Structure 1
Amino acid sequence: MSTSLAEGYVCLARLDEYYRFITSDNEALRLELFESNVGDYAGSTAVNNAIGETLRSGTGEDFWLFNNGVVTATR
């Protein structure tokens, strides 16, 4: 379903189907589907390292909700 301004789309999909869509045959993320993110270019910074620690910690923080959805695997 597209927006009235034709600037975006909304789609419902099962998580496994979404994963197959956003990854290539060798399971690499299809970067052409995503907007560029300055965090990807910044490399190993204090902020990126803290994000990584939060994701690895498994403390039950609702990271995805508070950070607008999907975080790319490049972090």
Structure 2
Amino acid sequence: MEIIVNLDVMIAIRKVSSKELAKAIGITEANLSLLKRGKVKGVRFETLAAICHYLECQPGDILAFSASETKGVTKR
């Protein structure tokens, strides 16, 4: 199971720089870079909401689920 982060795609579509987005939502460019590359263990809803508000998109435009790897996960 994997979460795919498409934040870089939305940034490109909206023609916004990473620096501009980071400043607007109040996080460092380094943390935004980690988020864009999917190298974080979690993201606060407040941060996700700020990104969506600024980019005028939905969370599903930024995050996607891939069920290709399901090690150790059981369905309910």
Tell me if both proteins adopt one fold, taking TM over 0.5 as the criterion. no
Is the helix fraction higher in 1 or 2?
2
Q: RCO greater where, 1 or 2, for CA within 8 Å and sep 6 or more?
A: 2
TM-score range, shorter chain: under 0.3
Larger Rg: 1
